[in-house]
Structure 1
């Protein structure tokens, strides 16, 4: 299921908005003056499809309508019954919209299916006490980790970030897993829970950098370090899969080679030389994006018609080599795009990716005492550089085919030239990841020459 449009009625008791998504580019830019509800709409869609229904208890609205590409639409409204607040989700066929003479009550009665979700007014004291106990246990754990000499700095810092994020949730009442006190999925109809599982929505919020001041502690983990750790995990997983494939192919190589020699081959010298060149190029790409794939056989000499005995042997070698590096294919495409986008923005520094240390930054102008270009810690990047890096990291590596990505104010801390390039780079991301993106922005420089992608929210004229 893919969302085609989002409509909200009487938001804040005032505004009626409709956002029709751009299907051709998969990028929709929502603009409008402050106070019209751009951020609220993004947060509401994110909360609904991620089952954080409590978010809706504080919003004043008559309905949200979400239209899908399977000829159905859902109407979401809020009701008070016996002192409890409920979200009602009614599913309709598109044919209902084509009957203007049908009154609202009749349309409600025409709903194919209905889901009813209870929204609790407050988190129970018992649940809050349990959450605070868990929080104290985490503090004790972090205290232990900080004094454990065998733990590396990055892993300790990541543990601290997790703990500090939960502290923020507790302080400000943010809703993640523990605070979601809605009825269990077992109480909801299957059509509803199944649909929510199929629709993946992610919100990239305005604030993307965690700082010590926000957390209230003396230490923190920069989100760039978290991205680096996640990327290392992806590389490690790809290396392990490649190693497993290599072991399997190598163990059967002698028998497969003998069979290949017996069967003969129809491959020509020209075809084999092209295949060798393709393998060589593929390896160099993987090496260039920091995956460290073995390239000692790169620049293999081309064979000629005096070496016909090598055709069968090399053909099997080439086929096996392609299989061994296949686990890196998708990751290498994303890594190259990520590096290209970041390095054309950053001035006087360059992003490099290493399979051991993750994201590395080096100066392109300043050298150390050994005459090597200086390494730049992630914490020394500007706020704009960190925001841009984290934003594109999430878009490229944390997104999957069919996802809907919501981005609030991507212009945060960005120079005008970076803003002008944003949509062009975003189009490359949507192309490789096949995602749908909705952007809420105040910046004409973000839009640049992409005014055909905008949807403008208007106030009361």
Structure 2
């Protein structure tokens, strides 16, 4: 029987960098920021942890030599998790077109002006967003049938807050979310825009917030590898705050080079790679 963890308590990695280093990282249940100079191994640590978790979230520490995760509760068999990178390279340079899903995605995205890794993430998230809305809609109907209008209002609030966040962030360029459609669309000076027509920074922020929203307030772990690369400095400052507001049950584990990401009260959540290396 699957039992999901609320968060990761400790990450241990043996024999990192050809057996020269050992990593022991005790994690905060909410926010964890891994820092250090280029080449010190931040992304390597993050990648090893992600690869130690099965694609369905099963905690398979024995499959990747040297990685051990301690969770809360300790007898959990699975974790819910997402990984966000800051890459915006061309899809056709990254994947073989013989891969079925990628070939399909390339065809769709080519027709709407997309074609980057961020566009692929948005393509996948659009589908999750539709499922999320159906699920929330069904729960709202059930609440109304019980006469519980307060619960119905609570269920609808996260989506509204997500839309408000995006409108606030994109206000300077005059973009607003279209709220009468189930798929994500924007208006700008009377023109309708698809997500693939946004700037790299706008796509990156939309990917992050959508990823958090569709987890539907469940406890889960959000891994982010230098998410600030395409983001305006003011967005970097608000990044953690916005994520935690959308889902108070998320545990964030991220790598960064940007002081702005931790400027708004997260300095005590920073861990240097040298501090967890023995």
How high is the TM-score relative to the length of structure 1?
A: 0.47
Aligned pairs (5 A) from 1:15-414: 15-23=21-29, 26-50=30-54, 63-69=66-72, 195-197=76-78, 199-207=79-87, 211-215=91-95, 219-221=107-109, 222=119, 223-240=121-138, 242=140, 249=145, 320=147, 322=149, 326=152, 329-330=154-155, 332-346=156-170, 347-354=172-179, 356-363=181-188, 366=189, 373-398=190-215, 400-414=217-231
Higher RCO (C-alpha 8 Å, min separation 6) = 2
Relative distance call for 1:39 and 1:329 in structure 2 (3 A) is same
Partner of 2:253: 438
Q: Which SS does the other structure have where 2:231 is aligned?
A: coil
- State the secondary structure of the residue aligned to 1:7: strand
Change (3 A) 1:219 1:394: same
Instruction: Provide, for residues 306-345 of structure 1, a one-character-per-residue CA deviation record: whole Å limited to 9, x for no partner.
Output: xxxxxxxxxxxxx73728x72x633x22212312322222
**Structure 2: how far apart are the matches of 1:69 and 1:20?**
12
Q: Distance in 2 between matches of 1:426 and 1:38?
A: 21
Q: Distance in 2 between matches of 1:220 and 1:210?
A: 14
Q: CA deviation at 1:69?
A: 4.3
**Match status 1:10 vs 2:31:** no
Task: Indicate if the aligned counterparts of 2:86 and 2:230 stay in contact, CA closer than 8 A.
Answer: no
Q: Distance in 2 between matches of 1:206 and 1:430?
A: 21
* Alpha-carbon offset, residue 39 of structure 1: 1.8
TM superposition shift of 1:349: 2.9
Kindly indicate whether the alpha-carbon contact (under 8 Å) linking 1:409 and 1:439 is maintained by their aligned counterparts in 2: yes
Structure whose alpha-carbon radius of gyration is higher = 1
Distance 1:354 1:212, change over 3 A: farther
Q: In angstroms, what is the RMSD of aligned CA positions? A: 3.4
Structure 1 CA distance, aligned partners of 2:224 and 2:206?
14
d(CA) in 2 for partners of 1:430, 1:396: 7
Q: Give the TM-score of the pair, scaled to structure 2.
A: 0.73
Q: Per the alignment, do residues 454 and 54 of structure 1 end up closer, same or farther by CA in structure 2, a change over 3 Å counting?
A: closer
Q: Deviations over 1:91-146 (max 9, x none)?
A: xxxxxxxxxxxxxxxxxxxxxxxxxxxxxxxxxxxxxxxxxxxxxxxxxxxxxxxx
Q: In the aligned structure 1, how far is the partner of 2:143 from the partner of 2:215? A: 25
Structure 2 residue matching 1:358: 3-state secondary structure: coil
Q: How far apart in 2 are the matches of 1:342 and 1:209? A: 24
SS at match of 1:29: strand
Alignment CA distance shift 1:54-1:22 (3 Å): closer
Aligned residue pairs, count: 248
Q: Which runs of 5+ in 2 are unaligned?
A: 98-102, 110-118
The structural deviation recorded for 1:394 is 0.3
What is the alpha-carbon distance in structure 2 between the residues aligned to residue 440 and residue 29 of structure 1? Answer: 6
In the other structure, the counterpart of 1:452 is 268
Q: Distance in 2 between matches of 1:238 and 1:399?
A: 9
CA distance in 2, matches of 1:209, 1:357: 28
